[in-house]
Structure 1
Amino acid sequence: MSKINIGISDGDRAEVNKILSKVLADEYVLYTKTRNYHWNVVGPQFSEYHKLFSDQYEALDGDIDEIAERIRSLGAMTPATLAEFAKTSRLEEHPGVYPDASTMIANLLVDHETVIRTLRADVDSCVKHNDAGTADFLTGLLEKHEKTAWMLRSMLEK
């Protein structure tokens, strides 16, 4: 493989790829939780929530692919196992727990807000590592999570 010469030092690229690997893990855990809720939601608003969760996990799936490709474009291999994601994610899973629909919405809201906060810090770190491209990419991702959080928050209002 030829040397990567994109104006970011090897050390800075390595640090940015560590950040992106954590973001990838967070997105994958959130994807899995959202898919779990899609499969297991019950109640009078089943159809609405089932569709909502489907739309959300499909959007996350696209984001996951873009993050993985960003890692590859910066010259690293992409983590791609459940074990790696579980070890690296900054989100918590709750195996064997099947909450009611409104708790599912509340749990997803907490996770999206957690991702938003971590992405803000990640953007700052990417700037410090001279990677404006990844900072911009993560800012766009952050904005998607802000919109999803707003929608989830709105569903919880009485």
Structure 2
Amino acid sequence: MAKDRVVPTRKKAPQLDTPTDLKSNGVQAITQALNVLLADTFALYLKTKNFHWHMSGPHFRDYHLLLDEQADQIFATTDDMAERVRKISGNTLRSIGQIASLQRVKDNNEEFVAPLDMLRELMNDNRDFAANLREAHELCDENGDVATASLIENWIDETERRTWFLFEAARGADQTGH
């Protein structure tokens, strides 16, 4: 993991030291991976909402609703991710600044993005997110954290579904010439 993506180690308040049978080096590694994924999740959520808010064109309603549904699904994972970090005795994200320092999902601050470009960009972001989830799953397997691995499996499935829907929506628009 890149140095700029490292969650600073803080002295943990004894009140937050949740008991776990996972080894401390495993907790640190999984906490790090989940916090980067959590930052990516928030970035992907906001990007999806950005494109939802700025959608235009002949397929406006369909794309607008698709992105709204996907944003809701993405946001719904944030609490589970953060709470999983706490369940294994880790510390999780505390600020927008920390999210910005860890996220791998690139922001899109363009004044206008064509609808198909929005769909393709989100499709690629979701595809990359699935790959990052798989890496975290391997880390959980290496450290015997079956509960986190199980959650990640569901998040991979949801991410692959979003990727599929974005792919089909973009492909369908390509075929109709819109």
TM-score by length of 1: 0.93
What's the counterpart of residue 91 of structure 1? 105
What's the counterpart of residue 145 of structure 1? 159
Tell me the CA shift for residue 30 of structure 1. 0.3
What's the counterpart of residue 129 of structure 1? 143
What's the counterpart of residue 119 of structure 1? 133
Matches of 1:97 and 1:113, distance apart in 2: 25
**1:33-76 CA-partner distances (Å, limit 9, x unpaired):** 00101111111111111111111111111111111111111222
Q: How does 1:8-157 map to 2 (within 5 A)?
A: 8-157=22-171
For residue 59 of structure 1, what is the amino acid of its counterpart?
Q
**1:62-119 CA-partner distances (Å, limit 9, x unpaired):** 1111111111112222203221112111211122343111111000000000001111
Moved more, 14-23 or 68-77: 68-77
Matches of 1:135 and 1:79, distance apart in 2: 20
**1:105-152 CA-partner distances (Å, limit 9, x unpaired):** 000000000001111111001111221111111111011101111111
Taking a change above 3 Å as real, the CA distance of residues 47 and 146 of structure 1, as seen in their structure-2 partners, is same
Larger radius of gyration: 2
For residue 162 of structure 2, what is the amino acid of its counterpart?
T
What's the RMSD between the two structures over aligned residues?
A: 1.5
Residue segments in structure 1 that go unaligned for 5+ positions in a row: none
For residue 134 of structure 1, what is the amino acid of its counterpart?
T
Identity between Structure 1 and Structure 2 (%): 24
Matches of 2:111 and 2:21, distance apart in 1: 47
Residue segments in structure 2 that go unaligned for 5+ positions in a row: 1-14
For residue 134 of structure 2, what is the amino acid of its counterpart?
R
TM-score by length of 2: 0.83
